[in-house]
Amino acid sequence: MLIVVCSCLQAEDVKLREQAVQLMEVANAVSLPGALPSFEHTVAFRVHEPDGTVKEGTFTRVSAGAAGHRDEVTFGDYHAVIVVSGDRISQHHTTAVPPEVRELRRQLPIHLGRFDQSDTIHAIQGENISGHPAKCVEFDTLTNGAPRSNEICMDTERGVVLRWRVGDEYIENADFFPIANLYEPAHIRRYLRHQLQMEIDQQMKLIDGTLDANVFTPPSSVWRTMYQCSTSRRPVAVFTPQPLPGKNGDKVVDVLVHGNIRPDGKVHDAVVDASPDPKLNAEALQLISTWKFLPLICNDEPASLSTDFVLHFQGR
């Protein structure tokens, strides 16, 4: 994730930026699991709905590193098995992927980021977070034309991210456990616009010896098998109009839509993932249906890509 801020904001101290970037780089180094050998990852999560109801789900991954992995997700009526083996990806889904499951995947095993060169770092403050000494980076991000203050706090002893407050999102990480040379949070709480949205409990453990070959057997009822791209070109936008502005000044409301850019260059299966104003959802989906792309090229052939889109409703 890039945290982007307009260079028109006030200048920052070079040494302060250097320290902030170093803190974030350390946080990435001690928590990114890409270099782990074979491991098992188990997750129980709870989604808190605005009406007070709580929905529960589970996620498991058995990974053999670069050789592949097997994921299984259950959430309500949704059940999925995804097997990645070499360049083959085999999937079985009972329904379309719920937005809550996509959000879960964005948070696992921990939410991390990097500072862009145009960010504005204001201060690095010492703080105590749940008994852990921390350094909190305070910075501004330009959001919808206006700067918003943000804060990311790192543990001064282990370097891990303890707290993430960027835009409308607030994340707390707690009870870190070691795995190989990394540290991951056993408990994650995500808030959106000050409301608890998701709780995650997770554990990871290394697997000794050789993995059972059956781990990479495709699901018995395969919905789709794909192959990873040895050569590719990402989709290129051809026609992607934003909503017409309204008369409510410079206020901007962002609606996040998820969909699939198919080989025909159109967006299919679009759903609203996040919207501060549900009255705009129908218009967002209708507008997305008119968008046109040069599609993803994978192994020299047009292919589908699942991705997110943001529509900016200015003055609405």
Determine the Cα angle at 119 with ends 117 and 125, to 5°.
120
Q: What is the CATH number of domain 1-228?
A: 2.50.20
**What is the arithmetic mean of pLDDT over 228-232?**
75
With cut-offs at 50, 70 and 90, classify the pLDDT of residue 300.
confident
Residue 69 has phi, psi (to 5 degrees) of -160, 165
With cut-offs at 50, 70 and 90, classify the pLDDT of residue 272.
very high
Taking only the tens place, the pLDDT of each residue in 21-44 is 999 999 999 999 877 889 999 999
> Whole-angstrom Cα distance, residue 103 to residue 168?
14
With cut-offs at 50, 70 and 90, classify the pLDDT of residue 261.
very high
Residue 106 token pair: 């964005």
With cut-offs at 50, 70 and 90, classify the pLDDT of residue 10.
low
Taking only the tens place, the pLDDT of each residue in 49-98 is 989 999 999 999 999 887 889 999 999 999 999 998 877 888 888 988 99
Residue 172 token pair: 């707390």
- CATH domain 232-314 topology: TolA/TonB C-terminal domain (3.30.2420)
Largest CA distance in the chain: 64
The amino acid that residue 72 corresponds to is: E
**What is the arithmetic mean of pLDDT over 131-157?**
88
The amino acid that residue 41 corresponds to is: H
- Determine which of 17-26, 148-157, 160-169, 297-306 has the lowest per-residue pLDDT on average: 297-306
Confidence (pTM): 0.81
pLDDT for residue 11: 62
pLDDT for residue 20: 95
> Whole-angstrom Cα distance, residue 304 to residue 87?
16
Cβ count within 10 A of residue 182: 21
Pairing of strands 2-3, 236-239: unpaired
For the chain, what are the domain ranges? 1-228, 232-314
State the average pLDDT for the chain: 89
pLDDT for residue 9: 44
Distances in Å between the Cα of 254 and the Cα atoms of 44, 67, 182, 197, 312 are: 30, 39, 35, 18, 5
pLDDT for residue 145: 62
> Whole-angstrom Cα distance, residue 154 to residue 174?
12
Q: What share of the chain is helix, strand, coil (3-state, %, to 5)?
A: 15, 55, 35
pLDDT for residue 12: 74
With cut-offs at 50, 70 and 90, classify the pLDDT of residue 301.
confident
Cβ count within 10 A of residue 222: 12
- State the virtual CA torsion across 7, 9, 15, 18 in degrees, nearest 10: -50
Contact yes or no for 71/61 (Cβ under 8 A): yes
Taking only the tens place, the pLDDT of each residue in 95-110 is 889 999 999 999 999 9
